[in-house]
Amino acid sequence: MEDRDKTLTFFESEGGFLGVKLGDNTYDRVRAVRLFPFTDPAKYISIRVGNDMGEELSVIEDLAALSPEQRELVERDLDLNYFLPQIKEIISIKDEYGYAYFHVVTDKGPVRFAINMGGTNVTKLSETRLLITDINENRFEVRDVTKLTKKEQRKLDLFL
Amino acid sequence: MILKIKIPETVREQINEADDDRIYYALPVDINRESMYAENSYLIVTTKRILLFEEGKLVKALPISECGNAKATARVGQGMLTIEQNGTLTLLCRFSHGLIAKYAYIARGINILASGRFEEVESNEYEPSCPICGRAIPGTSKCPHCSGEGGIVKTVRRLARPYHRSLFGIAILMILASVTTLLNPEIQKHLVDKVLLEESPSKSAAFLCLAGMFALSLGIVFVNVAKSFYSTKLGARMSHDLRGELFDKLQATPLSYINDRRPGELLNRVVSDTRVIREFMETVFCNLFTVAFIFVCDIVFMVILNPGLALLTLVPAPFAVAILLAFRKSINRRFHLQWVKNDDQSSNLQDVLSGMRVVKSYGNEKSESEKFLRLSNEYARVQMNNESFWAVFNPIIGTVLGLGLLIVVFFGGKQVLEGEMTAGELLQFMTYTTLLYQYINWMANFPRALMRLKSSVERISDVLSYNVAKKGPGEAIDINGEVVFDHTTFGYKSYKPVLEGIELSVRKGEKIGIVGPSGAGKSTLINLLMGLYEADDGVLLVDGKDIRTLDRKSFHSQLGVVLQETFLFSGTILDNIRFARPEASMTEIIAAAKIANAHDFICKTPGGYDTYVGEKGYSLSGGERQRIAIARAVLADPKLLILDEATASLDTESEYLVQTALSALTKNKTTFAIAHRLSTLKDCDRLIVIDGHRVAECGSHDELIAAKGLYYELLTAQLQMQKA
Ligand SMILES: Nc1ncnc2c1ncn2[C@@H]1O[C@H](COP(=O)(O)OP(=O)(O)OP(=O)(O)O)[C@@H](O)[C@H]1O
Ligand SMILES: [Mg+2]
């Protein structure tokens, strides 16, 4: 392939989705995909054609390198693709007959959910970072267990 | 699943329903535009409109006639519903992961309404949590908490019916056990008051009492042993019968039922849920009447004997129960934690041991051993904590349970000294108190055991009550070989279609080659053809008859199948080939093996056809396993042959040999063959390319090359690779 103009110019399409101009081509619908959704959510974003993850147009190495308007457009699409509430506060955890019922406050607002106690529904991403998967396959993250209060940590202890 | 939830009146008022514009579907929208959790937001579909409510206010109303191609797509942790409004792709709403399946049904419903039809989509998938009490439902159609006692009692009665004689016998034994247990203190009292404390104690009377007590003790032991023996036997028999029934039922259910359940869940139903029933019979049921009987009699006797003292004795009972429950909860937590830590440690060990080659080759032994040490330390810490907790609290519990006795001795002793009570009565009273507190422990545990039983019974009866034979016995068929896919649509998950609107008509005797990228749905297509799954939409006709109406046994006996993942049962090569047709003669088996080019390698194994293939055939190479599978298909003498990458693991020469042998065999028989190596398919009459959930191309080799489409690209790519 020849030396193509590799700069991407994002825009909002008519239906409210992310579109992009690349050289002479215009794509009305592209999707932004995180390559490292946990380790580095703001870096290495793959831009793919269509609604169904088609061909890869390019990988943005760092979102910070984009202009603020362009960046906002990409982040808006990322928001549509990823919903990973972070648990900030644990109000209560109740366990009953094999299920644990959580009532928590996340960065997306307060929520209640239930997990199955039997399986590996609480995984450690690192020593202090947890990923909780509920019975509906919703996922919740605890960024840093040590940031929770001692009391909250004790409630979580059962799952660690 | 519920596709029309209850919506608040304030929202409903804004809808303006009319006779020809009623509510079809209503679902919550739980993620708003700002990516925050939303409340009081709904998506409502009426006959003519799609309405979006945010925070109780109507924010969008689209006429369905302008809409089309509604789609619910899954994203990470959420899903979205999109629609094409006058041809422009638009985002309607977002929702959390649990709602995706429901929205997929709604999307289907919108598309049906948009196309001018009025039928309502229904879902028979289960709700993951109870709409009434909000509790998680353990994979059953009804919530075990809200299904009402009537339901469970009925199921238990149904499950227990074949055993009512044994149950009756055990009940008698239970009552006997309680009567003997309760008689003992009576004799004790007699011994103390009427014999020992007499002016001149009579030796013979004392001996008589002792003999009576001895006989009673012996009786208790005997009755208890008999009771345990029969309960254990009954429990084992019940769970055995249930396992058999479940297994039969599971074999009869369509694969999609099994596929809809979480992996391992069905295994659990067969193995652990039946075990729960057995354990309940053994440890709980066998004492149920005894304990209840003793408990009641105990209290009654105590009250008759000395009402004041009885009341005093009962005072600490609620405290004891509360402390016991709290203690048990804490113990469970602690030991669960210990179990998790132990698990961490052993899975790390397992990881390192099985990956030892990698660890060594990267020289990472030191960091790995540090990691293991850390985990092991954690485990040791938790274990030590638990042991000291146990050491401290166990005696405390003992003391609490002994509290009742302490009260009896203190106040009862005083009454004896004051002459208000005889020493024998005190002794009797003490024995009753001990009995009472002994069973409090048991009673505190009972609700938990009952709930466990309830969940298990619910899960089991859920499988057993699944209606398999709703279509009655199928129609027997003598397959001719004509196959028609008519708008067939299917997905393993309701929100993720794998095949959409497949149109394909195959004549008798035609050889169809199926190609397409990996994951396109080729194997899925033949899974449908084999009747393993049922199409979500559209039909699949064999000889003009809907495949769902055919008799499965007669249909399957005429299929010859070689699957992509060759599956061999543990057993001999002979067993595995003969699986297709158990009555086949040795000569036929050898002939089939020869066609599959398997005969020669089988001869070279020391055991010949009697060679044991090991668990799932792991002691054979991939190509060897595949040839056995081909022999199995050949032996079936099928009318319809299905080959999914049947020769992919063979070397070029054996592939050629097997191909020629197979083509002689498949003459005039309808054949579906999937292959990535396109040269394998050169004998096919027609080739279809599956891509993007559809039949992307269809035609003969020459036609497809002339069309210069996908097939042409695949072919030139492969030819180039061969040259390079
Ligand atoms: N049992 C299953 N449950 C859920 N999804 C499945 C199941 N089997 C297959 N799939 C998915 O369905 C899609 C089609 O799978 P299929 O096996 O039909 O592909 P294929 O065309 O045979 O691919 P290959 O060439 O690799 O064999 C894939 O995305 C796969 O992940
Ligand atoms: Mg396949």
One domain, residues A57 and A95? no
The residue among B27, B31, B35 with the most chain A CBs within 10 A of its CB, best to mutate, is B35
Chain B interface residues facing chain A, Cβ-Cβ under 8 Å?
A: 31, 35-37, 73, 75-78, 80, 82, 85, 88-91, 94, 96-99, 128-129, 134-136, 138, 333, 336-337, 340, 451-452, 455
pLDDT score at B260: 60
What are the tens digits of pLDDT across the range B360-383?
777 788 888 888 898 889 889 988
Vertex A149: Cα angle to A145 and A152 (nearest 5): 75
How would you list the strands of the sheet with B499-506, edge to edge?
B499-506, B483-490, B537-542, B545-546
pLDDT score at A119: 64
One domain, residues A76 and A13? yes
Where is the domain boundary, A46, A81, A116?
A81
Residue B77: its chain A contacts at CB < 8 A? Answer: 82-85, 138-139
State whether A97 and B35 contact (CB < 8 Å).
no
pLDDT grade for A88, boundaries at 50, 70 and 90: very high
Compute the distance between CA of residue B218 and CA of residue B206 in angstroms, rounded to an integer: 18
Of B670, B593, B581, the closest CA to residue B630 belongs to: B593
Percent of all residues in chain A with a pLDDT value above 70, rounded to a whole number: 92
Compute the distance between CA of residue B273 and CA of residue B251 in angstroms, rounded to an integer: 18
One domain, residues A96 and A70? no
Alpha-carbon distances, residue B444 vs A117, B416, B417, B438 (angstroms): 23, 33, 36, 11
Residue B136: its chain A contacts at CB < 8 A? Answer: 99, 101, 114, 116, 135
pLDDT score at B466: 66
Ligand 1 mutation target, pool B258, B494, B523, most atoms within 8 A of CB: B523
Pick B647 or B218 by higher pLDDT: B218
SS3 for B163-224, per residue? HHHHHHHHHHHHHHHHHHHHHHHHHHHHHHHHHHCCCCCCHHHHHHHHHHHHHHHHHHHHHH
State whether B136 and A99 contact (CB < 8 Å).
yes
Q: How many CB atoms are located within 10 Å of the residue A62 CB?
A: 11
Which residue minimizes the CA distance to atom 30 of ligand 1? B519
For residue B158, give the amino acid letter.
R
Is residue A5 scored above 70 in pLDDT? no
Burial of B80 per CB tally in 10 Å (0-12, 13-18, 19+): buried
In a domain, A2, yes or no: no
Is residue A106 scored above 90 in pLDDT? yes
According to DSSP, the residues that pair with B28 across neighbouring strands are B42
pLDDT score at B256: 64
One domain, residues A63 and A115? no
Please name the helix (run of DSSP H) or strand (run of DSSP E) that holds residue B697, with its range, or none: strand B694-699
How would you list the strands of the sheet with B686-691, edge to edge?
B559-562, B640-644, B670-674, B511-515, B686-691, B694-699
Residues ≥6 apart with Cβ < 8 Å to A12: A18, A19, A73
Domains and CATH numbers, chain B: 9-114 (2.30.29.30), 142-306+421-470 (1.20.1560.10), 332-419 (no CATH), 483-723 (3.40.50.300)
What are the tens digits of pLDDT across the range B522-576?
999 998 888 888 888 788 898 888 888 888 778 888 888 888 777 788 788 888 8
pLDDT score at A4: 47
Where is the domain boundary, A81, A111, A135?
A81
pLDDT grade for B513, boundaries at 50, 70 and 90: very high
B136 token code pair? 């998680």
One domain, residues A144 and A127? yes
In a domain, A1, yes or no: no
One domain, residues A105 and A142? yes
What are the tens digits of pLDDT across the range B645-665?
887 777 888 788 778 777 777
Number of domains forming the structure of chain A: 2
pLDDT score at B637: 84
Average pLDDT of B85-90?
Answer: 84
One domain, residues A23 and A42? yes
What is the overall mean pLDDT for chain B? 83
One domain, residues A62 and A93? no
Lowest mean pLDDT among A75-89, A135-149, B196-210, B403-417: B196-210
Q: Using the Cα atoms of residue B533, residue B537, residue B541 and residue B546 in order, give the sign of their dihedral.
A: positive
One domain, residues A72 and A93? no
pLDDT score at B709: 86
So what's the ipTM on this one? 0.88
One domain, residues A115 and A60? no
Is residue B188 scored above 90 in pLDDT? no
What are the tens digits of pLDDT across the range B147-179?
655 566 777 777 788 888 888 888 888 888 888
Average pLDDT of B257-280?
Answer: 72
Please name the helix (run of DSSP H) or strand (run of DSSP E) that holds residue B125, with its range, or none: none
In a domain, A48, yes or no: yes
Which residue minimizes the CA distance to atom 28 of ligand 1? B519
Work out the minimum CA distance from A7 to partner chain B, whole angstroms.
Answer: 25
CB B704 within 8 A of CB B691: no
Alpha-carbon distances, residue B630 vs B52, B592, B607, B682 (angstroms): 56, 8, 20, 19
Please report the atom of ligand 1 found closest to the CA of residue B516.
Answer: 21
In a domain, A60, yes or no: yes
Give B96's Cβ-side CA count (13 Å radius): 23
Alpha-carbon distances, residue B328 vs B283, B321, B331 (angstroms): 18, 10, 5
Compute the distance between CA of residue B242 and CA of residue B246 in angstroms, rounded to an integer: 6
Is residue B592 scored above 50 in pLDDT? yes
Residues ≥6 apart with Cβ < 8 Å to B311: none
Pick B211 or B264 by higher pLDDT: B211
- Nearest chain A residue to B88 by CA distance is A15
State whether B336 and A81 contact (CB < 8 Å).
no
pLDDT score at B264: 57
Is residue B262 scored above 60 in pLDDT? no
Residue B90: its chain A contacts at CB < 8 A? Answer: 15-16
Please name the helix (run of DSSP H) or strand (run of DSSP E) that holds residue B364, with its range, or none: none
Compute the distance between CA of residue A6 and CA of residue A2 in angstroms, rounded to an integer: 11
Is residue B259 scored above 70 in pLDDT? no
Compute the distance between CA of residue B42 and CA of residue B34 in angstroms, rounded to an integer: 16
State whether A83 and B75 contact (CB < 8 Å).
yes
Note the helical H segments in B315-422: 316-354, 356-361, 365-407, 413-417
CB B644 within 8 A of CB B514: no
Where is the domain boundary, A63, A81, A99?
A81
Residue A105's domain comprises 87-157
State whether A96 and B37 contact (CB < 8 Å).
no
CB B335 within 8 A of CB B379: no
Pick B508 or B142 by higher pLDDT: B508
pLDDT score at B116: 84
In a domain, A21, yes or no: yes
> What is the phi/psi pair of residue B519, to 5°?
85, 5
One domain, residues A20 and A66? yes
pLDDT grade for A2, boundaries at 50, 70 and 90: very low
What are the tens digits of pLDDT across the range A28-79?
888 888 888 877 888 888 998 887 777 888 888 888 888 999 999 999 889 8
User: Closest ligand to B691 CA?
Assistant: 1
Is residue A104 scored above 90 in pLDDT? yes
One domain, residues A60 and A113? no
pLDDT score at B458: 75
In a domain, A55, yes or no: yes
Lowest mean pLDDT among B340-354, B375-389, B484-498, B625-639: B340-354
pLDDT score at B360: 79
In a domain, A147, yes or no: yes
Which residue minimizes the CA distance to atom 22 of ligand 1? B523
CB B24 within 8 A of CB B45: yes
Residue B493: its chain A contacts at CB < 8 A? Answer: none
In a domain, A118, yes or no: yes
Is residue A118 scored above 80 in pLDDT? no
